[in-house]
Structure 1
């Protein structure tokens, strides 16, 4: 540990951490330094491989990770002008996610760890999203986090690198899942989030009225299943005459959907802000939004406006770091490494389910693979 401290004192850029992300359909890796620089960053998207299926096919995703990760890492090291021996630690997403993809990333990271003698750090994918804002902004603990992605929708109190308390979560579908299913229903293709956002920009959000589940109720939990069902029924009604949706109908439905989902997020966040103020005893804290859905400009703008109204500092990662990427995994690993330079998670296995707040009661049951998020 003394050697690590001496190294950091001599070179403020150290430690260097390699991060590998293979939890879903992006093969990604990055190298991050202690002075918050992303030394190299590579992401290989699999959108074209899954587009014809309207969603991610786990077996295809895993095979693509196997086919491309080695070459991607080789290119990454050339970009940075570094070798694996120059790393101080190797981090990989160990859960939650698709187990086939997780295995590829974890096994690769452990192989590099074993070959170089550098510690392996198991990173929770959600922690990667949650801590990214500290890589790109001067954000200190505690802060209130809205984590919205394809598989997760949670509001969390973040009081430390590994200290997360869940204030609210979805009781059914995640916000990103609702976007993807709406896009598929309306024939907008995959990925659904950007497609719905683009259509909504051309639509009238006031033409149709859609339900806003949980709005006005106490607590911070979400529900989007009813909203998704209402979109399906509305699309069927609009298509009754000629049997197809017009471009105008489709755009207006997207605009109404995006507006309704945004209303749900804002209502739940208002409750969370009040709760956080009561429990944290601090009225001035950052409001952070992270995850793939945070790339939606409309939703991002509404959340920023709420923060301004509440007198809170708003912060969010740049759009490129909202979706799955290796930099967020490298940074989460670096945060843990700085807290415990003797860390080594060599015995950790991939975890398809891995809630950030292990003490929180699962909202949608649990199974053999562990508690659902």
Structure 2
């Protein structure tokens, strides 16, 4: 039964996300309805350094966290006493950045007398899909971000099993490194994506499949192949075909991601394929995966770009699952930059 925000039947979670370079706070109702989602990005600050500087990120979180919390509550029209719990990203992420969010969440939980829910960052990305569609189990998730490339099987709600992961660079990291080699600023992924779609032809680049039955990924060799093409062109006194290289790189990445994701869905009899993480905003990947899933008869769920990049609404969605199964987290929890997704699975399993 649909209820109004703040009634006893509703679960209202204030969620905080500070794992990297976005300070984000959201209010989420019943794990899927976003009442507010405020994001303060640091991209312009870190662009000058060519990547995220952890110490700078932590300081900026400290500067804005209180204001973002107040703005999220105001935008949702919610008072602290109406909240069910306070959730926060416990890990993984940059330890200094995580600490800012964890300390803020603990302080609010104590001050307001609310339970605390420590939440896994990647679980948040996965459950961002529940903000746009009802999830069915078992399902398969392709996680693609700056720090993670994984295939995650969920047999039941809140149960995570990683069946494949990157052995070196994450896909988002590879995009940024290739973009830098092609002369683009941080973050480089959107530049490579745009050029790849504009290029007339692709510069041929290798596909890294690893063992025939492996669901793991590897992108460091592909990155090196791009550098070789660029350097060989310069040694010959030629201008590198930047657009063609971007297209060749993206086609190589996308083909491997799509093929392994579809194979994983079939092998695990998954009812849905979910896409999540910052690279899920990549137009080339979204288009290719949509086309392939349509041809294969696989139900595909992809959040809108605003819920692909780091945000707090996804943390509220994942925290709701944890709350329903396990309740709150002890107040002595600590920020964990190496937090295990599989160990965060709900206790019922």
Tell me the distance in 2 between the aligned counterparts of 1:322 and 1:17: 20
Q: 2:342 matched to which residue of 1? A: 357
Show CA shifts across 1:62-102 (max 9, x none).
01001111111111122112222221100000100000000
TM-score by length of 1: 0.87
Which one is further off, 312-321 or 197-206?
197-206
Q: 1:251 matched to which residue of 2? A: 243
Show CA shifts across 1:164-198 (max 9, x none).
11111111111111101111111111111111111
Gaps of 5+ in 2: 345-349
Tell me the distance in 1 between the aligned counterparts of 2:220 and 2:152: 21
Q: How many Å apart are 1:9 and its aligned residue?
A: 12
Tell me the distance in 1 between the aligned counterparts of 2:255 and 2:211: 10
Runs ≥4 residues deviating over 3 A: 7-13, 241-245
Cα–Cα, structure 1 residues 132 and 289, in superposed 2: closer, same or farther, change >3 Å?
A: same
The root-mean-square deviation of aligned C-alpha atoms, in Å, is 2.2
8 Å Cα contact 2:158/2:321 also seen in 1: no
Tell me the distance in 2 between the aligned counterparts of 1:178 and 1:309: 28
Aligned residue among 72, 75, 85 for 1:76: 72
1:336 correspondence with 2:322: yes
Q: 1:346 matched to which residue of 2? A: 331
Aligned length: 343
Gaps of 5+ in 1: 1-6, 278-283, 360-373
Aligned residue among 200, 214, 221 for 2:216: 221
Show CA shifts across 1:187-237 (max 9, x none).
11111111111121221343x111111167222111001000001111112
8 Å Cα contact 1:213/1:224 also seen in 2: yes
Q: How many Å apart are 1:13 and its aligned residue?
A: 6.4
Q: 1:270 matched to which residue of 2? A: 262
Cα–Cα, structure 1 residues 13 and 292, in superposed 2: closer, same or farther, change >3 Å?
A: farther
Tell me the distance in 2 between the aligned counterparts of 1:160 and 1:273: 15
Tell me the distance in 1 between the aligned counterparts of 2:98 and 2:283: 30
Q: How many Å apart are 1:347 and its aligned residue?
A: 2.0
Q: How many Å apart are 1:288 and its aligned residue?
A: 0.8
8 Å Cα contact 1:36/1:136 also seen in 2: yes
Tell me the distance in 1 between the aligned counterparts of 2:312 and 2:330: 18
8 Å Cα contact 2:86/2:117 also seen in 1: yes
SS of match in other structure, 2:151: strand
1:303 correspondence with 2:289: yes
Tell me the distance in 2 between the aligned counterparts of 1:178 and 1:111: 38
Cα–Cα, structure 1 residues 205 and 164, in superposed 2: closer, same or farther, change >3 Å?
A: farther
8 Å Cα contact 2:5/2:12 also seen in 1: no
